[in-house]
Amino acid sequence: MSKFVKASEDIQELVEKVAEERDLSGYIDFETIHFGKLKDVISVMKASASAEYLSNREDLVLVLIREDVFDKVDEKTKLMWIRMGLDQVAYDSEKDKVVIGTPSITVPVGFYEKYKDDAVKAALLAKYTIAQIEDEQKEKKAQEKANKKGKKKKGDE
């Protein structure tokens, strides 16, 4: 079984600092945990309902980190990684719930090493183009729906 350990105080303070920067600390409770088998340097996830119940903490978000990797870099890099992780976390005040997940891009390391910024630009363009097409499709469906309602009203007269 993999072992979870509460992260060191300095890492927890960095997470709290970034949460405050993003105005999340008033809505979301963060718990920073070192997990040595994590495949990334940082991962965020909503705690399960049972974990929230047992800890008596609502809107609990777990920030899993590879502390051994964090120990090898400077403070600026640590903050950047934490910002990148917490950038996925938001609080929807209309629905009164924590939302995790944002649009992101993936670029294979070898591809990035070969093409640098062009690789990132191409990945971003793909993401933006897909979003544009999805918006156009939604708009088209809404227009078709409005046209159907318009035809029904004319038929009722």
* Domain total in the chain: 2
- What letters, b where the CB count within 10 A reaches 16 and e where it falls short, cover 65-78? bbbebbeeeeeeeb
DSSP 48: P
> What pLDDT does 155 receive?
60
pLDDT tens per residue across span 9-37: 999 999 999 999 999 988 899 999 999 88
pLDDT tens per residue across span 117-145: 999 999 999 999 998 999 999 999 999 88
- Alpha helices, DSSP H, located in the chain: 9-21, 49-55, 67-70, 75-86, 109-115, 117-156
Nearest alpha carbon to residue 99 among 82, 108, 86: 86
User: Do both 29 and 66 map to the same domain?
Assistant: yes
C-alpha 82/C-alpha 102 separation (Å) is 15
Domain limits for position 144: 103-157
User: Do both 67 and 139 map to the same domain?
Assistant: no
User: Do both 154 and 88 map to the same domain?
Assistant: no
CATH code, domain with 68: 3.30.2010
| pTM, two decimal places | 0.73
User: Do both 60 and 89 map to the same domain?
Assistant: yes
